[in-house]
Structures are given as C-alpha cells and as structure tokens.
Structure 1
Amino acid sequence: MDEMDRRILKVLARDGRISNAQLAQEVGLSPSPCWQRFRRLEQKGVISGYHAIFDQEKLGASEIVLIEIVLDRHDDETLEIFGQKMQQMPEVLEVHLTTGEYDYLIKVAVQGTRGYEEFLRKKLYKVPGIRHSRSSFVLRSLKNIQAYLP
C-alpha cells in the first residue's frame, strides 16, 4: 500500500458515498486509475464493507452503555453461547473479548435507565455463564471513528 492508497482511504473514511469522479479529483488521479486502486483495496480486504451511521437518539435509543462482563467459565461451549446470544441482541452494538479483570466489553444502545434496566432483566441476565457485570453510561462521545489508518 502506497501513499496514494492511503489518500484514497482517508477520503473514503470521511465520505464512503463519494463518487469515483469526486474521489479521483480529491486524491489527484484520473478516474480510471482511481477506480482500479479502489477495487484492489476492496479485493485485498483493506476495505471490508460499508455501513450507514444512524442517529441513535432519533431512533429512540439515545443512551450508550459500556458493560464489562466476567464469565464464570471459559470453556468453548460457554464462549460460543455467549457470542451467539450477543449476536441475537439488536441493542448490542459491539462485543470485544478483552484482557484484564473483565472478559468482555460490550457496547449497548438503550433508551434511558428504564430501557437499560429492561435490557438487563429481560436479556443480559438471562445469558448463561455470566458471573459479574459492571456498567458505565457514556455521557458524551468526544471521538467516534471506525478505523485507524497508520
């Protein structure tokens, strides 16, 4: 990957819906070589997908909660079930296996403290294998990007 590929990625990180003609103009290439580089980045898996960013408040789930979770066992079955259950919960935005005191860090979108209580009682606490959890409400996000380009 060279400097031109990095320039393409920086523009795409800012605007994933930019047209090829606009992208080519911003990075200083003609459209055909720009398209070829773009396709090569996709084929190599550097660009792994595209998604829309939603306004959680307008969707009725304006609070973000970070939950640290400790499992009571770490066998394959417990880990598999936990992963499947997290995939099935639409409120769960991210799930990270971590090192340290907690096994997982999950990011959840809910509507206020009542929505969070309902999520805990009706969903999270019904997942087998969870020994302990600790939660923190996000007060404000100062930076929210999806990728780091070294």
Structure 2
Amino acid sequence: MDSVDRDIILALQEDGRLSNLDLAARVGLSAAPCHRRVRRLQADGVITGFRAVIDHAAVNRGCEVIILADLVAKDLSTVEDFESQVAGMPEVVELRRMFSVPDYLIRVRVRDLAEYESWLTTRLIGHPAIARVDSRITMKLLKHEP
C-alpha cells in the first residue's frame, strides 16, 4: 500500500459515493488506474464495503446505550451461545468481547429509554449467562467514524 492507496481510502471514507472520475481527480490518477486500485483494495480486504450514514433519530433509533456486561461462566459453550444470541438481536449494533473486565462491551440503539428498559429486562438480563450489566447512556455523540 502506497500513499495513493491511502489517499483513495481517505477520500472514500469522507465520501463513499464519489464517482471513479471524481476519486481519480482527487488522488491524481486517471480513471482506469484509479478503478484498478479500488478493485485491488476491495479484493485485498482493505475496503470491506460501502454504506449509508443514517440519522438514527430519524428512524426511531436515537437512544444509544453502552453496556458493560460480565458472564457467570466463561466456558466455550456458554460464551458461544451468549455471543450468538446477542449478536442476533437487532437492537445490538456492536458487540465486543474484551480482555479482562468487563467481559463484553455491547452498544445498543433503541427508540427511547422505555424501549431500552424493556429490551434489557426481557432480552439481555434474562439470558442465563449474564452475571452483571452496567448501562451507560450516551448524553451527546461528539465524534463518530462510520
């Protein structure tokens, strides 16, 4: 990867809808070599996809909660079952297994606090592997990389 590849990546991170011609002009290439580089970056797994950036409040998902969770047991079966179930929940937008404490960081998006309380008590706390949860409600999003 060279500086042109890095410039392509930065430009696409800023605006993933750039046409190949506009992208090529930004990074100082003609269209064909730029297109080849983008395809190579995709084939190499550097660029893994393109997506729309959504205003979550506009789609009734404006309340974000970060949950720190610990499991009762950490055997492979319990961990795999927990991760599979939680990752499949549509409210969960990020699930990370952590080193040390807590065991997991879970980021959830819901309509409001009432929906979060309902989800937490019926879906997450009800899982037999959960030992403890600590909820952190986002006051204001100051920086975000989509």
- TM-score interval for Structure 1 and Structure 2 normalised by the shorter chain: over 0.9
Q: Distance in 2 between matches of 1:97 and 1:26?
A: 38
Code of the residue aligned with 2:57 in structure 1: it is: E
The size of the alignment, in residue pairs, is 146
Which residue in the other structure is 1:68 paired with?
68
Runs of 4+ in 1 over 6 A off after TM superposition: none
Code of the residue aligned with 1:71 in structure 2: it is: L
Q: Partner of 1:123: helix, strand, or coil?
A: helix
Structure 2 unaligned blocks of 5 or more: none
Code of the residue aligned with 2:113 in structure 1: it is: T
Deviation at 1:126, TM superposition (A): 2.1
Which residue in the other structure is 1:7 paired with?
7
Q: Distance in 2 between matches of 1:41 and 1:7?
A: 12
Identity value in percent: 38
Deviation at 1:128, TM superposition (A): 2.3
Which residue in the other structure is 1:20 paired with?
20
Which residue in the other structure is 2:131 paired with?
131
Q: Partner of 1:58: helix, strand, or coil?
A: helix
Q: Partner of 1:51: helix, strand, or coil?
A: coil
Q: Distance in 2 between matches of 1:127 and 1:27?
A: 50
Report the TM-score when normalising by structure 2.
0.96
Deviations 1:95-120, CA, capped at 9 Å, x for gaps? 01112321000100012221111111
Deviation at 1:66, TM superposition (A): 0.2
Which residue in the other structure is 1:38 paired with?
38
Which residue in the other structure is 2:113 paired with?
113
Q: Is residue 113 of structure 2 the alignment partner of residue 95 of structure 1?
A: no
User: Which piece of structure 1 moves more, 35-44 or 95-104?
Assistant: 95-104
- Backbone CA RMSD of aligned residues: 1.0
